Amino acid sequence: MTEITRDDLRAAVASGMLTEAQAAGVIVLSEERAGARARRSGLDEPFELFKGFNEIFIVVGLVILFAGWMGVTGLSLLSINSGYLLGMLYSGIAFGLIALLARYFTLTRRMVAPSIALAIMFGISAGQFGLSVAAAMDAQFQGTITIAAACAGVMLSLYYYFFRVPFTVALIALSVFGVAFGLATMGGAVPSSPQDIFLLSADGPFALLTILLGIVGLIVALRFDMSDPHRVTRRAASGFWLHVIAAPAIVNTVALTLFEQGSLTARLVLVAFVALMALFAIIIDRRSFLVSGVGYIVALSITVIEGNAFFVILLLGAGLVFLGAQWEALRGALMRGLPAFPGKTGLPPWTIPTPEEQRS
């Protein structure tokens, strides 16, 4: 395929086929795609929280602005102090102001950190709107949390539809967890400790809900990933943030349940489970599952090996550093050795493209 040069674009402008603005847009798009391909040339997993310190500066201003707004309006994370009618009004005003800011910082400037901050603020405002609705319905505490989480999930879904901020997917997932847990508490189940959320052996449905929702989140995240195997669009970034929520939900539930049993068999199964998650993380090229299981291996080393625990931790750290340095090579060898399976071709590539392939 013949590559279009800037001289070709200038000729197109001179002949009237393109305007100067259209030609400039094509050049910007071409440079962005070239940069994305260059970043993927080493098969690295892309991750970006901010592009420069100016974004951090803007985030600080946004946080101060939002904190001042909450103070002036009397809104808080857990209650509405101004009455539910004013709470709904203030939340509606916040929706509009945040949308205007997102239109500039997200759609026009395409800033990463301010977009994340605005998504969080929008989620908080949506939760505050839900608190006002619950207050209008005179709901009890469990119902209030459920309504607030449901409102946040619905509003955040609309926010994602209009602004496509990948981090919003993680907030939506958290709101789904909030609705599920709220409904469970409304049914009479109350966790006696935070561990009940992950312990399958505990009374109540919370751990089962956690692992089921984690599996659903994993499936949706994989659909995001497979729709963009080269990970150059916001779909892959959305998948990343969903993995960040789904991985701990799955790994923590299984690992903590096995760890709390204390038997030798359970500990051996725990080691095997973490190893399996590590292989799975390498196959799908997402490190979140591996990171979620590392803490349990450290805890297991301290409680079981005792005197030689820090030696094992030293080896674990060295292994993680080696795995991070050789991730692409190890993944390539693993993927080449695996037989064909459904979805394998939709996973991120495991061979480094040649310069000719990168230009195509």
Query: Residues 6 or more apart from 318 whose CB is under 8 A from it?
Result: none
pLDDT at residue 151 above 80? yes
Residues contacting residue 340 through CB under 8 Å, at least 6 positions apart = none
pLDDT more than 90, % of the chain: 29
For residue 36, what pLDDT is reported? 47
Between CA 95 and CA 91 the distance in angstroms is 6
pLDDT at 27: 63
The band of 223, judged by pLDDT with boundaries at 50, 70 and 90, is very high
| pLDDT value at residue 353 | 54
pLDDT band, residue 160 (cuts 50/70/90): very high
- Give the span between the Cα atoms of 71 and 83, in whole angstroms: 15
> Residue 120: pLDDT above 90?
yes
Specify the higher pLDDT residue, 156 or 310. Answer: 156
- pLDDT at residue 170, as a whole number: 94
Give residue 152's pLDDT.
94
According to the model, what pLDDT value does residue 19 have?
A: 75
CB 62 within 8 A of CB 121: yes
Between the CA of residue 79 and those of 94, 128, 176, 193, what are the distances in Å? 16, 8, 20, 23
pLDDT band at 154; cut points 50, 70, 90 = very high
pLDDT, tens digit (0-9, with 9 covering 90-100), for 58-107:
999 999 999 998 888 877 766 666 677 888 888 899 999 999 999 999 99
DSSP per position, 163-220: H--THHHHHHHHHHHHHHHHHHHHTT---SSGGGGT-TTSSSSHHHHHHHHHHHHHHH
Which amino acid is located at 23 in the chain? A
- CA 144 – CA 275 distance, rounded (Å): 41
Q: Mean of the per-residue pLDDT values for the chain?
A: 82
Residue 314 has pLDDT above 70, yes or no: yes
Structure confidence by residue, pLDDT tens digits, 259-268:
788 788 888 8
